[in-house]
Structure 1
Amino acid sequence: MYALHKGGAAIKEDMVPGKQSETKSFLSLSQFVLTSGQLGQYALQKHSKISYVEVEILDAQTKKQICVLEKILPSFTIADIKHKFHKACPQWYPSRVGLHLECTGPVLKETKVIKNLAASSIITLYFRDLGTQISWITVFLTEYTGCLLIYLLFYFRLLNLYGMEDIDHCSRQPVVHLACICHSLHYIKQIFETLFVHSLSNGNTALKKMLKGCAFYWGFTIWMAYYINHPLYTPPSFGNRQIFPAVVCFLVCGAGNYFTNVALVQVHKTGIKNHFIRPTYNPFTWLFKLVSCPNYTYEMGTWISFTIMTQTLPVAVFSLMVSLQLIFWAQRKHCKYQKDFKNYPSYRTAMIPFIL
């Protein structure tokens, strides 16, 4: 009897856990089915709660509201805002839209992200019309091609500005031919760099700036070409001793400007921003050891050499104006390099070694 009772107990103990496990599985499955709808609704609610930003755009001059852009994602850039603004106000093309955080503040770059600008869910931007825009590549090609053609018109005397009598009785000095060759090579190089070296396809500027640039460069080219190609033009005071060294310096500075521009473009294309530009194996880039903007140094040297070569007042004035502009750009870039790189060499100057 004991054995049977013990065996029955054993059989009973073996059977109970199985039923309990089946019951637990059934209850778990039932609970999952009952709660799955609630979980789906919770997930849907969580997914639907997307934080949008509302962008209010005001006129920078009148402070009047132009429009309000709703449901703007924080990941949107200023470029996206411009396209949204264009849809709301079709008369304003994205290329001529300038957006500011403050009325008198700088124009926001198109790569700026909204979440880095908005302190709350509502952000106010100020609109300013930048005017008709034109690509930088068009600006430079127009300026450089104009300078090249204008000088050649005076060199070949196609405009007949000097009078036939003077032309018949006066012969050209050799320096006039050298000046034309150097001037043409300079602007052909500039056109080549614009087309094949520099990355300017995404940049735009106002049309009025291009007109100002053309007026400046074309005006000085007319002034220079008129005097250098004039029948009564006299060569430099020291003759060939002054001309040939100036020509050599002109060519060296032109080559140096080209190779430093190529080095700068190659560094920018790599996308590496954690180190500053250093000299390469090319000797023309060794000037990077002493100055931050050797391309500007070579550019200034080019026009100073042309001034010495031709010894004319118009070229001297143009060289001075260009040099002042280059010094301003170089100092601005030099300060930016010092700010961006803590280990930037202290012995480097902006443009002129050990001086400026």
Structure 2
Amino acid sequence: MGSVRVDVLDAKSGRKLVTVDRLDPTTPVSSLKHLIQRQIPKLYPSRQSLRLEPRGRVLADEEVLQDLPLGSDGTLYLRDLGPQVAWTTVFLTEYAGPLLIYLVLYLRPALIYGASSRSSSPHLVVHLACLCHSLHFAKRLLETVFVHRFSHGTMPLRNIFKNCFYYWGFAAYLAYYINHPLYSPPMYREKQVFLGFITFLICELGNFSIHLALRDLRPAGSKARKIPYPTRNPFTWLFKLVSCPNYTYEVGAWLSFTIMTQTLAGALFTLVGFLQMSVWALGKHRSYKRDFSPQYPRVRTAILPFLL
């Protein structure tokens, strides 16, 4: 096979963007992206999504031209993903905000409720709720820095505003009602509070265990994907039933938080989070089945064992 010529068309309009010719057949998609950027400087590689069809699958950076059905004169479709920002930056921004917002309302209620507000609530559940909320987002910050390994280095800049609105807004909503001077403890008092608190801690530990297991599947600097299986850690045994137990545990944690605090704000946060995580889990589940069939365990569902 001689040199390769590639016409790059806009995936939405179909108009030609650039032509890259005299390419070696062993050229990887990542190098092609750099060549496209030479002609269109604003399209840096992480902003490009290349496909064989306008709505086809996204080509991985490590794929090479000779393995694609292009021949010596082929066509690829490019979707501009828009300005990008590093995943680590996004996560640190998303998670630091809720942590600080909740702590401000907990430690300085007079700023919101007036100078006559108590600086310390008489209800134990208020303090445990702050502990749980702070623990969750502090854990997320530490996982972002020390645990998570991202297959893609960036995400669209617009997502940081959408995600911050969600996380920061719900943090303020939760903190406002739980730290309010008129807040009342749940119906069954200490029994309900400690049931929710202990279950929350168990689910957080389970979520952390899954993140560690997923981290160990991908060596540093690698984009390799493997089927996740249970390890010796009992918290990972949920992999026997669902593809995304990290989401299962997180939903369980916020459901426990809602039981502990008995607030509408907690219920809404849990519901919205469950709906979004279900979308992510179903997408991940379909991806696992597509990429690892027929070896992928058939008994697994996406997020809720035997149900969803």
Task: Give the TM-score, by structure 2 length.
Answer: 0.91
Q: Does the 8 Å CA contact 1:137/1:201 hold for their aligned counterparts?
A: no
SS at match of 2:111: coil
SS at match of 1:297: helix
Q: CA deviation at 1:156?
A: 1.3
159, 162, 187: which one aligns with 2:137: 187
158, 172, 177: which one aligns with 2:127: 177
Aligned-partner Cα distance in 1 for 2:45–2:76: 15
282, 299, 319: which one aligns with 2:233: 282
Alpha carbons of structure 1 residues 123 and 169: separation in structure 2 relative to 1, 3 Å = closer
Larger RCO: 1 or 2 (CA < 8 Å, sep 6+) = 2
Is 2:171 the partner of 1:221? yes
Is 2:301 the partner of 1:349? yes
Q: Could you list the runs of 4 or more consecutive aligned residues of structure 1 that deviate by over 4 angstroms after TM superposition?
A: 168-171, 270-275
Alpha carbons of structure 1 residues 84 and 289: separation in structure 2 relative to 1, 3 Å = same
1:155 corresponding residue in structure 2: 106
Q: Does the 8 Å CA contact 1:135/1:201 hold for their aligned counterparts?
A: no
180, 195, 203: which one aligns with 2:153: 203
1:108 corresponding residue in structure 2: 59
2:84 corresponding residue in structure 1: 133
Alpha carbons of structure 1 residues 218 and 169: separation in structure 2 relative to 1, 3 Å = closer
Q: CA deviation at 1:125?
A: 2.1
Q: How does 1:34-45 map to 2 (within 5 A)?
A: none
Q: CA deviation at 1:66?
A: 2.6
Is 2:289 the partner of 1:338? yes
Aligned-partner Cα distance in 1 for 2:218–2:83: 28
Q: Does the 8 Å CA contact 2:110/2:119 hold for their aligned counterparts?
A: no
Aligned-partner Cα distance in 2 for 1:80–1:151: 45
* Structure of greater Rg: 1
Q: CA deviation at 1:234?
A: 0.8
Q: Does the 8 Å CA contact 1:175/1:243 hold for their aligned counterparts?
A: yes
The gaps in structure 2 that reach 5 residues or longer are: none
Q: What is the total number of aligned residue pairs between the two structures?
A: 306
Aligned-partner Cα distance in 1 for 2:225–2:88: 28
CA RMSD of aligned residues (A): 2.4
Q: Does the 8 Å CA contact 2:109/2:179 hold for their aligned counterparts?
A: no
Aligned-partner Cα distance in 2 for 1:192–1:344: 31
Q: How does 1:1-356 map to 2 (within 5 A)?
A: 51-157=2-108, 160-165=111-116, 167-168=117-118, 171-200=121-150, 202-269=152-219, 276-339=227-290, 340-356=292-308
Aligned-partner Cα distance in 2 for 1:182–1:292: 26
Q: Does the 8 Å CA contact 2:109/2:119 hold for their aligned counterparts?
A: no
The gaps in structure 1 that reach 5 residues or longer are: 1-49
The code of the aligned residue for 1:268 comes to R
Normalized per residue, the structure richer in helix is: 1
